[in-house]
Amino acid sequence: GKDTYTLVTSELAEKSAKNELEDIWHGMSRIGRETMVGYLAFVDGSFLDNNIGYGAVILHDGNVTHEISGRLKDASADLMAMRQVGGEIKSVYEVMAWAEKNDIASLSIYYDYQGLEKWATGVWKAKNHHTEQYTNFMQNHPVDIVWREVDSHSGTRWNNRADELAQAGARGGQEQHGQQDVDLVVELETIVKAFMDFLAKQEVSAS
């Protein structure tokens, strides 16, 4: 029908672009299919109307198993000064609590704020109580973490979903369990933009 869209890559002259094009089309952006194995968590934070929100999507073999969304309550002034970074850190705490509760031995965490990895691995020196606490927590947690950075607002479906959950949390939404409905129009627009950006980089004119 007129609202159905199909991507055909079998006739591409440049075969090396086939997988990347298909991943973008399916909302995976730079995340390859081979990395969608095992437990993955996409985390994000948000700062809206002087409220800090956190959000996370947890997947197993590419399927959503759990979603987290909430607002930091009674945040101190120094935590408020960290804005969305406080939410980013809280989202990791929540993911780790979920992993421990469910006896998950290893987990890949996808993030768009590099401090989450650099503090956790000691590359960045913690300079306040909150980052010190986060560093100590992550370095002593039993779950084996693989850190993977993604570009923010890059069209990656689950990174976008984590952002939506963090914003919902900042607005007062509560923790959610299970897969939530996604606004398919917004999702399609995001994927199309990423696809158009990729085409532009290949010097392909499209509209």
> pLDDT tens-digit profile of 159-189?
899 999 999 999 986 544 444 444 455 566 6
Contact 20, 9 (CB under 8 A): no
| pLDDT score recorded for residue 181 | 44
Spatial neighbors of 12 by CB under 8 A, at least 6 apart, are 18, 21
Neighbours of 128 (CB within 10 A): 12
pLDDT digits (tens, 9 = 90+) for 41-92: 999 999 998 999 999 999 999 899 999 999 998 888 888 999 999 999 999 9
38: tokens are 């095992």
The SS3 of residue 71 is strand
| pLDDT score recorded for residue 184 | 56
The SS3 of residue 191 is helix
